[in-house]
Amino acid sequence: MFEFEIQSRDGRARTARFQTPHGSVQTPMFMPVGTQGSVKGLSAEELTGIGSQMILGNTYHLMLRPGAEMVAAHGGLPGFTAYPGPFLTDSGGFQVMSLGHMRSISEEGVVFKSHLDGSLVSLTPERSIEVQGLLGADVIMAFDECPPFPAEPPYIRSSLERTVRWLERSLKAQSQGERGRDDQALFAIVQGGIHPELRQQSLGATLPFGTPGFAIGGLAVGESKDQMFPAVAYTAARLPESKPRYLMGVGHPEDLVAGIALGVDMFDCVYPTRTGRFGYALTDDGRLNLNSAPPRQQLIPIDPDCDCYACVHHTRAYLAHLTKAEEMLSPRLLSLHNLRYLHRLVERSRAAIEGGTFTEWASVWGERYFKGRLPDWFARALSGDETPALVHSAPIKAEAN
Amino acid sequence: MFEFEIQSRDGRARTARFQTPHGSVQTPMFMPVGTQGSVKGLSAEELTGIGSQMILGNTYHLMLRPGAEMVAAHGGLPGFTAYPGPFLTDSGGFQVMSLGHMRSISEEGVVFKSHLDGSLVSLTPERSIEVQGLLGADVIMAFDECPPFPAEPPYIRSSLERTVRWLERSLKAQSQGERGRDDQALFAIVQGGIHPELRQQSLGATLPFGTPGFAIGGLAVGESKDQMFPAVAYTAARLPESKPRYLMGVGHPEDLVAGIALGVDMFDCVYPTRTGRFGYALTDDGRLNLNSAPPRQQLIPIDPDCDCYACVHHTRAYLAHLTKAEEMLSPRLLSLHNLRYLHRLVERSRAAIEGGTFTEWASVWGERYFKGRLPDWFARALSGDETPALVHSAPIKAEAN
């Protein structure tokens, strides 16, 4: 069911077709985040219209409200949200930890305080898989621990070892649950922070499980891009060629281009909708601030090359007016545009990979986006450099040995 | 250009075709309010899709931000908002007065304090018509004074007399302006509060101007429906049969049915979008509160007879979840549904008028909507009763004679 068929390669970058029960998707792809069963401000029809292929749902939020059973009563997330395509749900672990509601963490799982009513709720690998079964996504994630940044290597090591034991329990729970492995693809998550040694340890313990896909976790949690991308490079290069690779919680336009260069297939991030709600529009020339004065006088679209509803129908002046006037249509239209921008960006990446011109295309895109000067981390990602950022390589080695 | 062709009659109710430069509309009709160049949360495409025929823009808001000249630079409201159909703009007077920003009122006009930056701005009949020319609506309104409720009859009388003088100046400004009468239809506004004598005085002074349409102003400002509808009945019955009649700032579903019974052709109100933002959905059974507990468990649409996107795709449980979770999609979808509900309500009214069954249809609709018992004011409106509500008839007569 979850066939992953590579269609073209260019350096480490690749395009593929990923088959799921709710349809086939083309990778690389960016997944909009529908935290609470809604990509903020957008209808399911619009998501389909702008080329969204898979939507991310958050287990933590949905299990608390409206409750996984209510989503299941609608036939899962597609019925609940009216988005007919595939979904991916996270395991809930990251949200519990990052939102600061965690009360205790043990080998059994985590206990957290609901941000809605303050009640204590427990989440274990078994419960996470059960909830994800009820939510009914096509791709589900193993329950893992994502250490904060910075964390000491010994902590990261014991955490990733526990993540492996939780992966084993997640897979066992899936086998014993009502939904089988043909119905939901359970992806394992490789941890290890920004440390090659720890990434290697996590890879060595995780890959043997042979899950239908692998995620690169534990990044985009506060480290710099100089620190993050060598870890992506190192990890992605050691994941199986034949399985989809998902870089969790990433990212910005430049992160997608760099990640694709390093062989990543799937991305998700709240960034395009969140920055849209703050009045920013993504373009090849960087981020356009619609709260600033110049757009208010500009009778041109955000991006003349964009085919989204906002760019086809509206001027910057109109959108800047809506933003200034705090009209709800502004966050809606800017979120729509920003998602379409990222979808177009991966579409353009796929075309360049298919044409064997990805690195050249990415360099030209980067020259314009970064206004003439590629940042070091971006240039290194395009070349596949795995060398950890110098600033952290010394202490990491001292502690990790 | 502004031909108004009556197509069918049933009692006082009628259907008509009203031709404007931006297209022909069918009356009775309800106009969504796009105060700041946007019907809150909705795209132009959606408005067309749910059967909106004419959109209202607010001169007061748009002249302050983004400025009428900026709207004109887009070719007027259709270019600015991307809604291709006809618009109607108010004169700005009501907003200045009702929003409490007015600083002084004189024969010349009003001076008010901008709610945006506190600066003093003047609005006169001449300036209102100039601004409305720049905004480019198909129907524009004479600059009038709308007294608060309650107001003493002597004040209402002197105010309506000034409104007539301002109408004369509005028409003169239009004749001398860049846009002619073929381009924008200027409607006069009949004032007089809830007092038949004052309504008669206003009618007598206003009708001779022979404007292409007439509005019933000064209502829905705080009086009860018992007080409002006899005034609508009295005024509508004395407006020319051959011109469109516009009841300003109304209304609720029951107000539309009652107004149509009394021969009103056009309505506008922020109610459907505002109540949608508060989590309420309009139905034939009254207002459904999506913040309440029952809808959270209901796997049925808001209204199984409704063809709006929300009713076709979503359950009450999903919409109640979005409302509870304060997701932006909730106000958007409820606003869409509520506008579609009102558009369908006038569509059903038109069909009943054409079929000669309007009073029966309205009674059956009212029995369900009011849960078995028609309010006195509603039953009286269906019968065309113009008798002022007793509670106020004595003091009115005493003062007005």
Sequential pLDDT tens for chain B (401 residues)? 899 999 999 999 999 999 999 999 999 999 999 999 999 999 999 999 999 999 999 999 999 999 999 999 999 999 999 999 999 999 998 888 877 677 899 999 999 999 999 999 999 999 999 999 999 999 999 999 999 999 999 999 999 999 999 999 999 999 999 887 889 999 999 999 999 999 999 999 999 999 999 999 999 999 999 999 999 999 999 999 999 999 999 999 999 999 999 999 999 999 999 999 999 999 999 999 999 999 999 999 999 999 999 999 999 999 999 999 999 999 999 999 999 999 999 999 999 999 999 999 999 999 999 999 999 999 999 999 999 986 544 443 333 33
Instruction: Say yes or no to pLDDT of A1 above 90.
Output: no
CB spacing of B321 vs A37 below 8 angstroms: yes
Q: Which domains does chain B have, with CATH numbers?
A: 4-90+125-269 (3.20.20.105), 276-369 (no CATH)
CB spacing of A332 vs B332 below 8 angstroms: yes
> Where does the pLDDT of residue A393 fall: very low under 50, low under 70, confident under 90, or very high at 90 and above?
very low
* Nearest alpha carbon to residue A143 among A167, A113, A121, A162: A167
Cβ burial of B26 (10 Å; 0-12, 13-18, 19+) is middle
The pLDDT assigned to B135 comes to 98
Mention every residue, 6+ apart, whose C-beta is less than 8 A from residue A389.
Answer: A194, A224, A226, A227, A230
The pLDDT assigned to A401 comes to 29
* Nearest alpha carbon to residue A319 among B281, B74, B141: B74
> Residue B148 has which token pair?
């608060």
Chain A residue whose CA is closest to B296: A66
Mean pLDDT of the region A317-325: 98
Mean pLDDT of the region A296-304: 98
Amino acid at residue number B321? H
Contact B267, B28 (CB under 8 A): yes
Distance CA A84, CA A136 (A): 12
The pLDDT assigned to B181 comes to 81
The pLDDT assigned to B258 comes to 98
- On average, the pLDDT of chain A sits at 95
Q: Give me Rg for the CA atoms of chain A.
A: 21
The pLDDT assigned to B391 comes to 52
Instruction: Say yes or no to pLDDT of A98 above 90.
Output: no
Where on the phi/psi map is residue B121: left (φ > 0), alpha (ψ -120 to 50), or beta? beta
| Residue pLDDT, tens place only, A103-125 | 899 999 999 999 999 999 999 99
| Nearest-CB residue to B315 (from A36, A74, A333) | A74
- Cα dihedral A200, A206, A207, A212 in deg (nearest 10): -140
E-strand ranges in B21-165 read: 23-27, 29-31, 55-57, 87-89, 102-105, 110-113, 120-123, 139-141
3-state secondary structure of B293: coil
The pLDDT assigned to A398 comes to 36
Percentage of chain A exceeding pLDDT 90: 92
State the residue for tokens 């359970």: A186
CB spacing of A327 vs B38 below 8 angstroms: yes
- The edge-to-edge listing of strands for the beta sheet with A120-123 is A102-105, A110-113, A120-123
Amino acid at residue number B147? P
Distance from the Cα of B327 to chain A's closest Cα (Å) equals 6
- The edge-to-edge listing of strands for the beta sheet with A185-190 is A29-31, A266-268, A245-247, A214-216, A185-190, A139-141, A87-89, A55-57
Distance CA B235, CA B384 (A): 11
Burial B144-163 (b: 16+ CB within 10 A, else e): bbbbebbeebeebbebbebb
| Residue pLDDT, tens place only, A137-168 | 999 999 999 999 999 999 999 999 999 999 99
| Residue pLDDT, tens place only, A121-145 | 999 999 999 999 999 999 999 999 9
The pLDDT assigned to B399 comes to 35
The pLDDT assigned to A391 comes to 53
Instruction: Say yes or no to pLDDT of A81 above 60.
Output: yes
The pLDDT assigned to A390 comes to 63
The pLDDT assigned to A55 comes to 98
Tell me the chain A residues in contact with residue B36 when contact means C-beta distances shorter than 8 Å. 321-322, 325, 327
Instruction: Say yes or no to pLDDT of A396 above 60.
Output: no
The pLDDT assigned to A389 comes to 82
The pLDDT assigned to B101 comes to 77
Instruction: Say yes or no to pLDDT of A242 above 50.
Output: yes
| Residue pLDDT, tens place only, B119-169 | 999 999 999 999 999 999 999 999 999 999 999 999 999 999 999 999 999
The pLDDT assigned to B68 comes to 98
| Residue pLDDT, tens place only, A244-268 | 999 999 999 999 999 999 999 999 9
> Residue A21 has which token pair?
């029960």
| Nearest-CB residue to B70 (from A36, A317, A329) | A317
The ipTM (two decimal places) reads 0.96
Distance CA B235, CA B214 (A): 10
Tell me the chain B residues in contact with residue A297 when contact means C-beta distances shorter than 8 Å. 70
Whole-model pTM: value is 0.96
Chain A residue whose CA is closest to B80: A318
| Nearest-CB residue to B317 (from A38, A66, A314) | A66
Interior angle at CA A149, CA A196 and CA A36, nearest 5: 110
Q: Which of A138, A265, A268, A303 is catalytic?
A: A268
Distance from the Cα of B40 to chain A's closest Cα (Å) equals 6
* Nearest alpha carbon to residue A351 among A88, A7, A107, A35: A7
